[in-house]
Structure 1
């Protein structure tokens, strides 16, 4: 199953009249102005998706900062974005698909097969000299029916001992993994047993995904393998979806911990490890 669509393929679809639902998911931690950026300029025909309100429920300590919405709410939003049965959906942002991957994962989880990330996003579209436009799009209401549970996911209880029999990847920046800084969550550090694997390592300097073979090499070096159970978390379940997309490109599957570190660190009963090693040097935090 393909994960990416390049700018040329998207442009060909659009100019040849092939039905394509194009979704703009511009959002970044610390930048609440995604809709304003969209109104200023976007790929023609793209509909804006608001990550905090449409791809997440309100924050809750027991579920994290961006809890997944129930499928009926996602279906309502998807229809408002204009998605119909058997549509091809392409999502993009302007930050290497770090936020668009959240929508990609959610729609795949909801049973849509033909969902793609625009490789390179809006910057790649601009770099190709293709047009942008301002204002808001008004799509015709769609009729898609969504399901749930089509992508693997795990809860905090399974996350706690995942690394004992598999690989648990922490998709946040290395300094957050090591506990050197923590800008939003109540405790600094990482889940015991997790391996640091920042999502920035999935991309080239211009925001495209690395070639599949390079991604495969990266993940093999981190301990991922065809028969190794793999799970991913980040701060709130957003950029972890980007890691899962990169793993899929590389030929691996992985489960998402949706609540991620924001859920984990809010529970005082959960251990948190600082430093560069997966486990603390304290015997009580190490396996065995």
Structure 2
């Protein structure tokens, strides 16, 4: 596990409001994915958003082409992402604040993707839109025109794990499964359920309280068993919730690698082992009772 320089990975609504009032060059991105926002996720954005915020479609802007082995949310192509960053007005030295309306993991995946692409200063907004409203922040209906940013994408600025590396890390270091506990346990009678043998369960939702990242003391206690200096990695169902783990550990100065394909990619190869049960190893696929 490699310590990383102390760097702010979050910001509060109050600090963001102060920065916007001062005229600071902050790029605010609202990431839309959640259901219940009308026919298109951007409908709620158009009805009222943070002043100057630009809308980012999770599926269109942050996910690349899917293949038979890519998993549900593969990384976007570098060239397309660079074009988008520039249209959002992002320069190499920009401060970017990302938020969403419901699920923090949607915003943390945006945080991770931009950091992976080389944008140095990206921050998760505590509480998202609700946090902004709690401080009496005004909403705007004006849609900013396309920006003219100059950001240059540098893929690989955050570490990744391949499936093989994730499997090895589960045995040699700390591989954290960020899915809900039920998904981690799986069902020994259902093919494709369970977890990577050796992975430990810490649901991504445990990193937050009311959409706000928990404080350093709470996160240190949550991850205490995995802060011994060995390498840390994270995965989930499709490479989204696990970015909450990467963000949480980054806030503690700990660098964790992401397995972007996560479980949805792991199970595309029937030769990869699967464990079920509440323990890191549990019962492997080879030990499952036969259908007969």
Deviation at 1:29?
Answer: 7.2
Deviation at 1:191?
Answer: 1.1
- The CA RMSD measured in Å over matched residues stands at 2.2
Matches within 5 A, 1:277-288: 277-281=279-283
Cα distance change, pair 80–226 in 1 and its aligned pair in 2 (3 A): farther
- Counterpart in the other structure of 2:211: 207
- Counterpart in the other structure of 1:161: 168
Answer whether contact 2:276 2:283 (CA < 8 A) is retained: no
Answer whether contact 1:226 1:252 (CA < 8 A) is retained: no
Answer whether contact 1:39 1:134 (CA < 8 A) is retained: yes
Deviation at 1:260?
Answer: 0.4
Matches within 5 A, 1:31-50: 33-50=40-57
The question of 1:6 aligning with 2:7 is answered: no
Tell me, in whole angstroms, the C-alpha distance in 2 between the residues paired with 1:23 and 1:218: 29
Tell me, in whole angstroms, the C-alpha distance in 2 between the residues paired with 1:97 and 1:21: 18
Tell me, in whole angstroms, the C-alpha distance in 1 between the residues paired with 2:13 and 2:146: 22
Matches within 5 A, 1:1-288: 1-28=7-34, 33-95=40-102, 97-134=104-141, 136-179=143-186, 187-204=192-209, 206-220=210-224, 223-281=225-283
Cα distance change, pair 279–51 in 1 and its aligned pair in 2 (3 A): same
> Structure 1 length as normaliser, TM-score?
0.90
> Structure 2 length as normaliser, TM-score?
0.89
Matched residue count = 279
Greater strand proportion = 2
Tell me, in whole angstroms, the C-alpha distance in 1 between the residues paired with 2:285 and 2:98: 45
- Counterpart in the other structure of 2:4: none
Tell me, in whole angstroms, the C-alpha distance in 2 between the residues paired with 1:189 and 1:135: 46
Q: What secondary structure does 1:25 align onto?
A: strand
Tell me, in whole angstroms, the C-alpha distance in 1 between the residues paired with 2:187 and 2:29: 35
